[in-house]
A = this chain, B = another copy of it.
C-alpha cells in the first residue's frame, strides 16, 4: 500500500471548474493555486488550454508562478491539444480518452484500436518534450477490462509516467476499485492515479482502496466540487488517511484546510456543508451525555481526528435533555 508515499493531484482548477457554479477569473485561479501550493499538494491540474483563450493564458500564467507544486493541464487524446498543452509551459500533461462502450458510442465514436493508435501518436510526441505524461481512460469502471489493459499496456510501453483510472459516473465501489488497481499494478510499470466521482458516496473510500491496492496518486478538489455532486474532496481524503496515521499527512499544512474550504465556498457561492469532513460546523461537536462525559475524560473515546491538528476546537454540548446525569456531574 502506498499510504506512506502517495501524492495529491489537486484538480480544483480543472474538475472543480466543471462544477456548475464555478467561473474562476485569472486572479481567483492564481489565488487558489497559491493556497494549494502553501497547503503542500504535490500537483495542481488545470483546465485544457483548448477550452478557451483565457484557459490557455491562465495555464501559462500559473505555470510561470514558480510554485513548488507541479503544474499539470488536462487534454483530450489528440496531437493538436497536447501540443497546445506543452506550449503553456506546464510540468505535465494529463491525457484522457473514453474507453467504455457508452462513451465510444455516444461521445467520441472510436474503437479500441483507434484509441491505441491515437495514444501512440500523442505519447511519441510527448516523450520528446520535457514533461510528465499521464494517460487515463474516462469511464474506466464501465469499460471492458480487456480493452483497458490492452490500452494501458500499450502506453506503458511507450513510457508514460502515470496511468489513470477514472470512475467518471461514480458507480465504482471500494472492493471493485481494489481489484482493478491490484490487477493494473501487475500489468504496468507506470504509477497509478485514481479519479473518482461521488454520486453514490464512495469517492473517498474508493480513493483509499486504490491506495491500499498500490495506486500512487489521488485526484481531489477543494470541497469535492466537480461535475454533478463532485469527486473525492481534499479534506475528506486527508481525514481518511489521517485516521490511519497522522504522520502520513503531516507533509501538508493541515490548519490551512479551513481557509481553503472557506475561500472556495465563497467563490462558487455555496455554504460549506454542515457535515463536511473536518471543516463542517458539526465535525467536532459532541452531544449525547454518554459521549460528552467520556470526551471530557479523554477525547479519543469519541474522536479519531484531533481538532487541534487542524487549528480547530471541539464543542461539547452540555445540559440538554439527551445528556442525562452523566454529563453534568
On A, residues with C-beta under 8 Å from B are 17-21, 23, 47, 50-52, 54-55, 76, 102-103, 105-107, 139, 168-171, 173-175, 178, 198-206, 208-209, 212, 223-225, 227-230, 233, 236-237, 239-240, 242-243, 270-271, 273-277, 280, 282-288, 290-291, 293-294, 297-298, 300-305, 315, 317, 320-322, 324
Max chain B C-beta neighbours (<10 A), residue from A229, A290, A297, A298: A229
With A107-B301, A225-B275, A274-B270 in contact, is A205–B173 under 8 Å at CB? Answer: yes
A78 shortest CB reach to chain B, Å: 13
> What are 30 A-B interface contacts by the 8 Å CB criterion?
A17-B322, A18-B288, A19-B287, A20-B317, A21-B274, A50-B324, A52-B322, A54-B321, A102-B298, A107-B294, A107-B301, A168-B302, A173-B174, A173-B240, A174-B174, A175-B175, A175-B178, A175-B212, A199-B243, A200-B204, A200-B236, A200-B304, A201-B203, A201-B233, A201-B239, A227-B285, A228-B284, A229-B274, A229-B277, A271-B274
Contacts of A224 in B (CB 8 A): 275
Bound-state Cα–Cα, A314 to B315, Å: 39
Bound-state Cα–Cα, A113 to B115, Å: 63
Contact of A283 among B168, B199, B273 (CB under 8 A): B199
Max chain B C-beta neighbours (<10 A), residue from A17, A282, A283: A282
Bound-state Cα–Cα, A200 to B23, Å: 29
A164 shortest CB reach to chain B, Å: 16
Contacts of A324 in B (CB 8 A): 50-51
Contacts of A243 in B (CB 8 A): 170-171, 199-200
Give 12 A-B pairs besides A107-B293, A202-B205 with Cβ atoms closer than 8 angstroms.
A51-B322, A103-B294, A171-B243, A173-B212, A174-B174, A199-B304, A202-B204, A202-B240, A228-B284, A228-B286, A229-B274, A229-B277
B201 x A315 contact (CB < 8 A): no
Contact of A294 among B106, B200, B236, B317 (CB under 8 A): B106
Contacts of A19 in B (CB 8 A): 282, 287
B202 x A208 contact (CB < 8 A): yes
Bound-state Cα–Cα, A295 to B112, Å: 22
A51 x B236 contact (CB < 8 A): no
How many copies of this chain?
2
Contacts of A322 in B (CB 8 A): 17-18, 47, 51-52, 55
A298 x B106 contact (CB < 8 A): yes
B230 x A275 contact (CB < 8 A): yes
Contacts of A240 in B (CB 8 A): 173, 200-202
Contact of A198 among B18, B209, B275 (CB under 8 A): B275
A228 x B285 contact (CB < 8 A): yes
Contacts of A276 in B (CB 8 A): 229, 273
B282 x A230 contact (CB < 8 A): yes
A287 x B107 contact (CB < 8 A): no
Contacts of A304 in B (CB 8 A): 169-171, 199-200
Bound-state Cα–Cα, A174 to B202, Å: 10
A169 x B271 contact (CB < 8 A): no
B107 x A305 contact (CB < 8 A): no
